[in-house]
Every structure is written in structure tokens, then in C-alpha cells.
Amino acid sequence: MADSAWFVLAIVLVGLAFDFVNGFHDAANSIATVVSTRVLSPSAAVVWAATFNFIAVFVFGTAVAKTMGKGLVDLAIVDAT
């Protein structure tokens, strides 16, 4: 049991690290066009991106997470222990 708990913890940490690094790239890609074309200054682009990312949580909720989680694990064969 303890070995599987460490394995699950390691997988979760790797997933979080990947998501953190992926956020660097997504954040840069989301504002690169408007900054390089000088439509917005870099600071204004960051403020706009942060604002709309924050608003999106309330507008779209967890719909994407629910869709991605459908049918991935058959709960009938998973034990609670």
C-alpha cells in the first residue's frame, strides 16, 4: 500500500510540474501576437490575459474537466480500499 501511495504522489507531482511549465508557454503564446504587433504594451497584454483567464473560470466552470474525465476510469472495477 505504501509503495502505491508514493507512486501516486510521484505521478501527481510530475503532472503538476508539467502543468506549471506548460503555463509558461501558454501565457507567452497568448500575448505574443498583440505585443509583437504593438497593439498592446506588454504590461497591458498581461493584465488583459490575466483578467480574461480569471473571468473564464466563472463563465465556463469545470465543463472541460468534466468532459475530459468522462469514461476514463470504470468506477465499477475500482475498489475503495
pLDDT in tens, 44-62: 999 998 898 889 888 888 8
pTM: 0.55
Question: C-alpha cell of 24?
Answer: 509558461
pLDDT digits (tens, 9 = 90+) for 7-39: 999 999 999 999 888 888 887 888 999 999 999
Domain range list for the chain: 2-69
* pLDDT of 41: 96
Answer whether residue 79 shows pLDDT above 80. Answer: no
Count Cβ neighbours within 10 Å for each residue of 27-55 and write b for 16 or more, e otherwise: eeeebeebbeeeebeeeebeeebeeeeee
Residue 73 half-sphere exposure, CB side, CA atoms within 13 Å?
6
